[in-house]
Amino acid sequence: MKARTTLYDLLGLTPEASEADIHAAHVRLFNHYKSGTHGLQPMDAENQIKVIKEAYWILSDPGRRDAYDASLAAPVPPASDLPPVTGSVPLKVEIADVKWTPGRIMLSIIGGLMIIGMSIQIFFSVFAFKQAGRVASGEAAAEAQERVMAAEKRQMYGTLDDKEIAAQEAREAEERAESRRRAEEQRLEYARKEEERKREWALREREQYADRVSSDLERAEQSARQKAEWEKRQKEEAARRADMEEERRIQERVARERMRWQQELQR
């Protein structure tokens, strides 16, 4: 009779294994089949990994593990004494008359009851396993989530122990903090440069405005000087014309007086 292969056998453990043993075996087998040194075909290795993950999923949760252990406790129906049926062995059926003696009848009844009892026990074991999976909530669900996270952490960090994992996580946290600090420094430096650029732009704008105002004042002063000079020249020209006009009138008056005196003398 062939021994029954259990999930504990798949992980190389005994039913008395602790949760830490289950985690360690899962990580060890996962890394083994992922490393490529197992000598199996890629498809076979992937199938082994799936089987290991399924076994770990059941055994890592207390509710699922209890239901599975209960199913292991159920008696296994006896194997048939007939040889296994394969494609290369023909099936021979011999029909003979069966003599039903009281002992044979009693054994048949007992065997039927045992089969019915084992079927009922297997049904309730499967039902309890599914029910445990359904009702896992609250703290049980949180613990299962923590175990899944721990398993993922062990898959991520490989064979590192908890102390090394904590040290690596601390280094990663420091690196993230340092990255955030550098990003904040870059942001502050950019903000400082942007503020300086705005101040320089405002100063340049004020300087350009002052230059425009100064240029406008110079043009206004120059225009005022030119206007004053023009008005001065106009006044000087008007005064010169007035002087010339006065001199002309004086000369005309002198000429008239001279002519009058000449006429007086001729008489």
What pLDDT, on the 0 to 100 scale, is given for residue 225?
A: 86
Confidence of residue 60 (pLDDT cuts 50, 70, 90): very high
> Is-contact 42 23, C-beta < 8 A?
no
Cβ count within 10 A of residue 235: 10
> Is-contact 154 29, C-beta < 8 A?
no
Least confident range of 33-37, 92-96, 132-136, 155-159 = 92-96
> Is-contact 64 128, C-beta < 8 A?
no
Instruction: Tell me what the mean pLDDT of segment 205-210 comes to.
Output: 79
State if pTM tops 0.85.
Answer: no
Residue appearing with tokens 């490393």:
35
Burial class of residue 67 (count of CB atoms within 10 Å of its CB; 0-12, 13-18, 19+): buried
Higher pLDDT, 240 or 164: 240
The percentage of the chain sitting over the pLDDT mark of 90, rounded to a whole number, equals 28
| Residues sharing a CB contact under 8 Å with residue 128, sequence separation 6 or more, in sequence order | 67, 70
Higher pLDDT, 72 or 78: 72
Confidence of residue 126 (pLDDT cuts 50, 70, 90): low
What pLDDT, on the 0 to 100 scale, is given for residue 136?
A: 43
Confidence of residue 35 (pLDDT cuts 50, 70, 90): confident
| Residues sharing a CB contact under 8 Å with residue 24, sequence separation 6 or more, in sequence order | none
| Residues sharing a CB contact under 8 Å with residue 85, sequence separation 6 or more, in sequence order | 91
**In Å, how far from its chain's centre is CA 201?**
38
What pLDDT, on the 0 to 100 scale, is given for residue 27?
A: 94
What pLDDT, on the 0 to 100 scale, is given for residue 189?
A: 92
